[in-house]
Structure 1
Amino acid sequence: MSGMDHGVMAMPSMASTGMPGMPGMAGMPATATGEGLAAERDGYRLDSAATSLPAGQAVTYPFTITGPDGRPVTDFAEVQTKQLHFYAIRSDLTGYQHLHPTMAPDGTWTADLAPLEPGNWRLYASFTPNTGPRKGSEFVLSRTVTVPGQATAVPLPAATDSTTADGYTVAVRGELTAGTPAPLIVTISKDGRPVTDLQLYLDSYAHLSIVHEGDQALAHLHPVTPVNADHGGPTLTFYALLGEPGNWRSYLQFQTAGQLHTAALTLHVT
């Protein structure tokens, strides 16, 4: 996803790759604009009074996006059918959540988080102002919160080229080198058979979030594979330009028969 320039850079534009477009891709900027590790950039700020959240229970996280004029922003462009995308992940890269908060007329957003395990969490807001000096520019801002309690870090699983989720097997092919654009080819199967009934979820056949083990820089990618109604798969092509070497935890979300699936695996960037 364009919108990362520290450890994460934008994928090539459709024109430069010659790849076909798809709904939700047209008009996306092809240059990086941020990395998602700061609460403020270019006068836009992610504000929240919450610095800690309770463990083990569903909880709401209220926040605002403040603009350069010091007032809450209330006009956002729709990106992948939503005005704002919200992500949560613990410092050990577990507990991934991808949410779509609701906004009150005064610009206050409310993210409904599933129960959180104790530890330190980073919460990201991805948005594009529809007015103001940076109209049309994509931002990814984040803040951290503490969830009290005895935190037990989960070791990052070793890098692999396949994983399973809800009976589906997800295989990934691609050689990733820091600072070099490269394709990631994802193939989805079930019971040894290619899956060809992927449905559109938020205007795309899949969403791939990738988080760096070192600093939690976030990338969010969508496939450039052409859309054919609810007949996606079995192969999806993503393009990534990751600026930092090391391990990245990836979360692939895709939908079949109205059910959303999330498959996680670790990718290594040389």
Structure 2
Amino acid sequence: MNTPAKLGAYVLGLAVVFGGALGVGNAVGATGTPPTAPPHPVHGTAAAAPGRSTAAAPASLPGGLQMSDSGYTLTPETTTVPPGETIDFRFTVTGPDGRPLTRYQTQHGKKLHLIVVSRDLGDFQHLHPHEAADGTWSVKLTLPRAGVYRAFADFAPEGGHGLTLGADLHAAGDYTPKALPEVSRTATVDGYTVQLDGDLVPGGSSALTLTVSRNGAPVNDLQPYLGAYGHLVALRAGDLAYLHVHPDGAPGDGTTAAGPGITFHAEVPSRGDYRLFLDFQHEGVVHTAAFTARAGQSPAPAATTTGPADTAPTPRPAATPEKSGSHGEHTH
């Protein structure tokens, strides 16, 4: 009699949750009833399609690792971009019916956020494309050097959950990947110093506070950018699993200070290195500070000034004066 074959079950359950003081997360409603989107929805977590409960669904992958999820697909018109040239990058998000999606929820003042980052995590852009009536999105895009990039579309269908879909873009030419910068508590950008306090704890919630100063003095008059005093995008080194978070509180709520510290509550799925990109606005200009942080190992070394890889490209003034709850164009 033959010995029965053993079946191995391997479930990759990477619960990726970034939330604020109100415990923001992807809410799960009753079967057949999509939950109401929270004030600051979690980004980068896959969820069930509208009208389908997540209760019985298997654990989802982190956002951005797939072009398609829950019936929605990110489709760029081209995936080849000449390095150093600005093109009109166009794409659609198709829905479960196979048609371009045209009904989105507004999240942080925009219907869709586009993040483009090189796979070596050396180049980062946060873009806000324009939508045509037929569901086609377009944005001016420049890939600064040869290599492979990942484009993330961060959005929520009307009546559904937040999703992040990803697609690779290619800039042909000689390519030498940048080494991941060393773990550090301090980043410098455009004359500002940003100090990171707190540690990433795999599988558990932890607080991260990023404190902004200039010329040794704390910056106490940060300006709202996209409805918040800071925006944080985290990418896991290696596979670029995507996490997008917002800080505690909101401008104008009567309790949240306009700096120098911005606090986030974070939960990461695994040990390893993560690249953190903090957007903040001061005196009408948006800046991006970049860090390498390590989850599940000894705390990072004492503060040191980061090198060129931790310095964002030349900043640009915000397109329009920011108001709480509104988004301006942000291109790095």
TM more than 0.5: yes
Offset, 1:30: 9.6
CA distance in structure 1 between the aligned counterparts of 2:244 and 2:13, rounded to whole angstroms: 14
Contact in 2 for aligned 1:7/1:217 (Cα 8 Å): no
SS at match of 1:126: strand
Instruction: Give the equivalent residue in structure 1 for 2:18.
Output: 11
1:89 aligned to which of 117, 128, 135? 117
The question of whether the paired residues in 1 share the 8 Å contact of 2:19 and 2:42 is answered with no
- Report Cα offsets for 1:109-151 as digits up to 9, x if no partner: 0122134310111100001111xxxx23101001002110001
How many Å apart are 1:231 and its aligned residue?
6.0
Find 1:108's aligned residue among 108, 112, 136.
136
Once residues 151 and 40 of structure 2 are traced to their aligned partners in structure 1, the CA distance between those partners, rounded to angstroms, is 26
Contact 1:6 1:35 survives alignment (8 Å):
no
Residue 125 of structure 1 aligns with an amino acid whose one-letter code is A
Please identify the structure whose Cα radius of gyration is greater. 2
Q: CA deviation at 1:196?
A: 0.7
> Aligned equivalents of 1:63 and 1:211: distance in 2?
22
**How high is the TM-score relative to the length of structure 2?**
0.72
C-alpha separation in 2, matches of 1:241 and 1:89: 22
Counterpart of 1:21 in structure 2 is none
CA 31–60 in structure 1, closer or farther in 2 if over 3 Å, else same: closer
TM-score by length of 1: 0.88
Question: Partner letter of residue 166 of structure 1?
Answer: D
Q: Give the whole-Å Cα distance in 2 for the aligned partners of 1:159 and 1:165.
A: 16
1:26 aligns with 2:39: yes
Residue 101 of structure 1: how far off its partner (Å): 0.2
Q: 1:72, 1:47 → 2: CA distance?
A: 10
Say if 1:54 and 1:116, in contact at 8 Å, map to a contact too. Answer: no
The answer as to 2:261 corresponding to 1:261 is: no
Determine which of 259, 262, 268 is the counterpart of 1:233: 259
Q: State how 1:168-179 maps to structure 2 within 5 Å.
A: 168-179=192-203
| Cα displacement (A) at 1:213 | 0.8
Mapping of 1:65-80 within 5 angstroms?
Answer: 65-80=93-108
- Assess if the C-alpha contact under 8 Å between 1:8 and 1:218 holds in 2: no
Aligned to 1:200: 224
Provide the rounded CA distance (Å) in 1 between the counterparts of 2:107 and 2:273.
Answer: 28
> What is the match of residue 278 of structure 2?
252
Question: In the aligned structure 2, how far is the partner of 1:185 from the partner of 1:83?
Answer: 28
Match of 1:220 in 2: 244
Distance in 2 (CA, whole Å) between partners of 1:153 and 1:88 is 16
Q: Counterpart amino acid of 2:172?
A: P
* Conservation of the 8 A alpha-carbon contact between 1:8 and 1:244: no
Q: Which runs of 5+ in 2 are unaligned?
A: 1-11, 25-36, 47-61, 297-332
Deviations 1:186-227 (CA, angstroms, capped at 9, x unpaired)? 111111111011000000101111111110011111111442
Are 1:64 and 1:73, in contact at CA under 8 Å, matched by a contact in 2? yes
Could you tell me whether the CA contact under 8 Å between 2:201 and 2:268 is conserved in 1? yes
* Structure 1 runs not aligned, ≥5 long: 18-23
Q: 1:89 to 1:83 in 2, by over 3 A?
A: same
CA-based RMSD of the aligned residues comes to: 2.3
1:155 aligns with 2:179: yes
SS of the residue 1:11 aligns to: strand
Task: Flag the structure with higher strand content.
Answer: 1
Q: In the alignment, is the contact (CA less than 8 A) between 1:252 and 1:262 conserved in 2?
A: yes
Q: 1:233 to 1:25 in 2, by over 3 A?
A: farther
Q: Percent identity?
A: 35
CA distance in 1: counterparts of 2:44 and 2:65, whole angstroms? 17
**What code does the residue aligned with 1:236 have?**
I
CA distance in 2 between partners of 1:27 and 1:111 (Å): 25
Give the AA of the match of 1:142: G
Superposition deviation, residue 12 in structure 1: 4.4
Q: Distance in 2 between matches of 1:10 and 1:261?
A: 25
Paired residue total: 256
